[in-house]
């Protein structure tokens, strides 16, 4: 989720002090004095240019709340939990730019996840959320490093809950629908007359000699993708296509977990949203189509589909949100017939200021007898305790942007 930074560090160059030497004109002729003044002016200007520093901004999100989770498994009871990140993943980051002249800027961004319930950092890596450096100009921005995929960014524009609160589109993406980030990538973003284009290519850099892959083949973990998002007035339209080749795909509870032998998952989707002012609606469809080798988890199939509808209604100072998403697995490898699940989510977000809000959210996943989908709220999931179980959760919390 994007937001405006609030705390900025002053450039080092602004903290420097340059003292102009005192010149006694009584000891100099007029021409000499003019030359000396010019030399001093140039000398005074040089350190400012030579020591110009990047403008650096510290930013973050602090989000935590209390909730109840019921997995609906055999003998399972609802549990009370205090968790970080029901509405947004708690994080802090550093971003900066340096003006290089002629409309060109150097950019960088480092972002880390943090758990406000325990103080722990993200186990996947300290800067695992974002670590990029690049150049920006009239052409857009090119970045190198770890960043969001085009598909994940595009789908978020038609998620009425903004990838947070129970029943958001992470219910699809985190269960195999869309790869969220890639490392070792080249990323491009450009916006032209309301149309934002994103593209990426990531090198696998994996030397995999497992069955079906040639020793030294580093292409099996490559990923590429492209997306387009049009935002004009009240209308938003998005579409994306991306492909992830081989490697462990969404291994943490996802539908697909590739064997790493060159199998790939093709991810594509479309969506639209319209804001009527006091009321807004969204609709989106996504599909993830895997090669036959990606079949090792519960309900493992070669295709995952999702169709969702969302709505937001301004209510008092805040907004009431609701969303329904239906998930379906095609051709499950374990003999299960037609696994399907439908998530329902509702939430109310009440602002206390421009940077702080309270929220309350409820969500559940209605699984058929052969499915075991979870319902998610940003960092947190209510997992199904068994096939056919209907997990649900409720939470209240506070989020602060800084």
C-alpha 139/C-alpha 192 separation (Å) is 9
Dihedral over Cα of 355, 376, 170, 84: its sign: positive
> HEC states along 248-279?
CCCCCCCCCCCCCCCCEEEEEEEEEEEECCCE
C-alpha 85/C-alpha 44 separation (Å) is 50
Place of tokens 């200007």: 45
pLDDT tens series, the chain, 402 aa: 444 444 444 443 443 333 333 333 333 334 444 444 444 443 444 444 434 567 999 999 999 999 999 999 887 788 999 999 999 999 999 999 999 999 999 999 999 999 999 999 876 778 999 999 999 999 999 999 999 999 999 999 999 999 999 999 999 998 888 999 999 999 999 999 999 999 999 997 755 544 344 444 556 678 999 999 999 999 999 999 999 886 544 444 455 554 444 567 899 999 999 999 999 999 999 999 987 555 444 566 778 999 999 999 999 999 999 999 999 998 776 677 889 999 999 999 999 999 999 999 999 999 999 899 999 998 788 889 899 999 999 999 999 999
Place of tokens 């969404």: 250
Confidence (pLDDT) at 256: 56
Q: Which two structure tokens, joined as six digits, stand for 27?
A: 């000891």
Confidence (pLDDT) at 51: 42
Confidence (pLDDT) at 204: 75
Phi/psi of residue 8, nearest 5 degrees = -120, 135
Confidence (pLDDT) at 217: 53
Confidence (pLDDT) at 247: 52
C-alpha 277/C-alpha 275 separation (Å) is 5
Taking a C-beta distance cutoff of 8 angstroms, is the pair 105, 133 a contact? no
Confidence (pLDDT) at 259: 47
Place of tokens 């609709």: 283
Dihedral over Cα of 181, 121, 61, 83: its sign: positive
Q: Which two structure tokens, joined as six digits, stand for 100?
A: 């290089």
Confidence (pLDDT) at 139: 97
Q: What share of the chain is helix, strand, coil (3-state, %, to 5)?
A: 10, 50, 40
Going by C-alpha positions, the residue among 352, 346, 345 that lies closest to residue 399 is: 352
Ramachandran quadrant class, 233 (left: phi over 0; alpha: psi -120 to 50; beta: rest): left
Confidence (pLDDT) at 238: 99
**Neighbour count for residue 260 (Cβ, 10 Å):** 22
pTM of the entire predicted model: 0.81
User: Which of the listed CATH numbers 3.40.50.300, 1.10.3720.10, 2.40.160.10, 3.90.1150.10 matches domain 7-16+51-401?
Assistant: 2.40.160.10
How far is residue 375 from each of residues 105, 169, 362, 366, measured CA to CA in Å?
Answer: 41, 10, 10, 9
């Amino acid at each position: 989720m994007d937001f405006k930074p609030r705390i900025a560090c002053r450039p080092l160059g602004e903290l420097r002090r340059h003292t102009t030497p005192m010149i006694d004109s009584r000891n100099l002729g007029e021409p000499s004095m003019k030359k000396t003044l010019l030399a001093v002016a140039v000398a005074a200007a040089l350190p400012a240019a030579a020591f110009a520093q990047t403008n650096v901004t510290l930013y973050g999100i602090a989000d935590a709340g209390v909730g109840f989770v019921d997995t609906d498994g055999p003998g399972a009871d609802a549990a009370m939990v205090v968790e970080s990140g029901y509405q947004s993943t708690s994080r802090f980051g550093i971003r900066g730019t340096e003006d290089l002249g002629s409309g060109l800027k150097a950019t960088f961004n480092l972002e880390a996840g943090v758990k406000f319930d325990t103080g722990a950092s993200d186990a996947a890596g300290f800067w695992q959320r974002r670590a990029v450096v690049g150049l920006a100009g009239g052409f857009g921005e090119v970045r190198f490093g770890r960043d969001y995929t085009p598909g994940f960014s595009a789908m978020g524009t038609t998620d009425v809950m903004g990838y947070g609160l129970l029943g958001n589109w992470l219910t699809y993406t985190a269960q195999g629908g869309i790869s969220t980030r890639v490392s070792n990538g080249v990323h491009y973003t450009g916006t032209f007359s309301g149309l934002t284009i994103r593209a990426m290519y990531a090198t696998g850099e994996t030397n995999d000699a497992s069955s079906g892959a040639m020793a030294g083949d580093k292409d099996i973990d490559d990923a590429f993708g492209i997306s387009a998002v049009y935002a004009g007035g009240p209308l938003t339209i998005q579409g994306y296509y991306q492909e992830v080749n081989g490697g462990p795909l969404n291994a943490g509870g996802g539908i697909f977990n590739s064997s790493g032998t060159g199998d790939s998952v093709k991810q594509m989707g479309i969506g639209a949203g319209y804001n009527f002012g006091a009321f807004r609606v969204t609709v989106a469809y996504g599909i993830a189509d895997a090669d036959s080798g990606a079949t090792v988890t519960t309900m493992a199939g070669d295709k995952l589909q999702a169709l969702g509808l969302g709505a937001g209604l301004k209510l008092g100072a805040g907004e009431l949100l609701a969303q329904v998403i239906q998930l379906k697995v095609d051709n499950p490898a374990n003999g299960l017939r037609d696994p399907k699940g439908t998530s329902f989510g509702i939430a109310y977000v009440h602002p206390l200021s421009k940077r702080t809000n309270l929220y309350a959210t409820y969500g559940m996943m209605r699984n058929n007898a052969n499915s075991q989908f979870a319902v998610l709220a940003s960092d947190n999931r209510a997992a199904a305790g068994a096939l056919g179980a209907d997990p649900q959760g409720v939470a209240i919390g506070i989020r602060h942007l800084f």
